[in-house]
């Protein structure tokens, strides 16, 4: 009888290991192609993540997290990535900084493709990058479905983190257009994430050049394995 239970335990352990190996080998993989469809905006490094539905990059009408505010004001992706990873709900993440070269910006009309892995069940995809030149606007997809096969096409909007005043002064806007400062801690703003209302020409930026209408990006998510 002891031999039977020992053999059964080995069978269960072996089956579990086989299941883990099977899941790892057959883990779905996706190509995510992001195209900047604006007239003249640039996207800072784009953070792409697959994750459980229990978390999200942001909630409309709610204050931006510190990580999202730093991304929206200065293009930093590490703080938001760290926030998400700390939840234990991230499946995989990638970013465009090494693909785009120097500077790692996605210019108007250009595309970039990144690969991420998912799960067979319960996985969604999000992405975000700062819009330049703006004070604290960003392009994003927030917890969208992954294709079971083939591809899905999404059109991403421009959002405002609500963490910084939209003064449109170049001294408060980073990037090649303005060469200003990014994050502005404690400067205030609208106080909640909302759909961005673009550039109005209140200071250094001309609406005829830098204003936009949504969407700002086309995103094609294709399952490749």
Q: What percentage of the chain has pLDDT greater than the value 90?
A: 79
Q: Please, are residues 222 and 30 in contact by the beta-carbon 8 Å criterion?
A: yes
Q: For residues 46 and 34, is the Cβ–Cβ distance under 8 A? A: yes
Residues 6 or more apart whose CB falls under 8 angstroms from that of 13 comprise none
pLDDT of residue 24: 52
Average pLDDT over residues 121-129: 95
Total H helices, total E strands in the chain: 4, 10
- Dihedral, 41, 66, 49, 136 alpha carbons, nearest 10: -10
Phi, psi of 68 (to 5 degrees): -65, -40
State residue 185's pLDDT score: 63
pLDDT recorded at residue 87: 97
Whether pLDDT at 16 is above 90: no
For 150-161, the pLDDT digits (tens) are 999 999 999 999
Q: Identify the band that residue 25 occupies on the pLDDT scale cut at 50, 70 and 90.
A: low
Mean pLDDT of the chain: 89
pLDDT band, very low/low/confident/very high, at 51 (cuts 50, 70, 90): very high
| Token pair belonging to 94 | 């990638």
What's the confidence (pLDDT) of residue 22? 45
Average pLDDT for 165-194: 90
Structure tokens belonging to residue 220:
């094609």
Task: Annotate 114-166 with three-state secondary structure.
Answer: EEEECCCCCEEEEEEEEEECCCCEEEEEEEEECCCCCEEEEEEEEEECCCCCC
Q: At 9, is the pLDDT very low, low, confident or very high (cuts 50, 70, 90)?
A: very low
Report the candidate in 73, 61, 53, 190 with the shortest Cα–Cα distance to residue 128.
73
For the stretch 82-118, pLDDT in tens is 999 999 999 999 999 989 988 899 999 999 999 999 9
pLDDT band at 28 (very low <50, low <70, confident <90, very high): very high
- Give the model's confidence band at 204: pLDDT under 50 very low, under 70 low, under 90 confident, else very high: very high
What does the pLDDT read at residue 202? 86
């Amino acid at each position: 009888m002891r031999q039977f239970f020992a053999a059964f335990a080995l069978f269960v352990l072996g089956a579990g290991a086989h299941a883990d190996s099977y899941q790892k080998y057959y883990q779905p993989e996706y190509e995510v192609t992001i195209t900047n469809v604006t007239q003249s905006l640039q996207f800072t490094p784009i953070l792409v993540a697959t994750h459980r539905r229990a978390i999200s990059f942001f909630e409309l009408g709610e204050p931006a997290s510190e990580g999202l505010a730093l991304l929206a004001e200065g293009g930093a992706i590490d703080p938001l990535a760290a926030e998400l990873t700390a939840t234990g709900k991230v499946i995989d993440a990638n970013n465009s900084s090494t693909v785009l070269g120097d500077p790692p910006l996605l210019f108007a009309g250009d595309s970039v493709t990144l690969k991420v892995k998912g799960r067979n069940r319960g996985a969604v995809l999000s992405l975000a990058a700062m819009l330049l030149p703006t004070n604290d606007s960003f392009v994003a997809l927030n917890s969208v479905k992954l294709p079971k096969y083939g591809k899905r096409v999404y059109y991403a909007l421009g959002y405002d983190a609500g963490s910084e005043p939209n003064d449109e002064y170049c001294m408060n806007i980073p990037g090649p257009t303005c060469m200003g400062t990014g994050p502005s801690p404690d400067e205030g703003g609208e106080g909640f994430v909302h759909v961005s209302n673009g550039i109005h020409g209140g200071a250094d930026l001309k609406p005829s050049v830098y204003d936009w209408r949504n969407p700002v990006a086309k995103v094609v998510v294709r399952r490749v394995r």
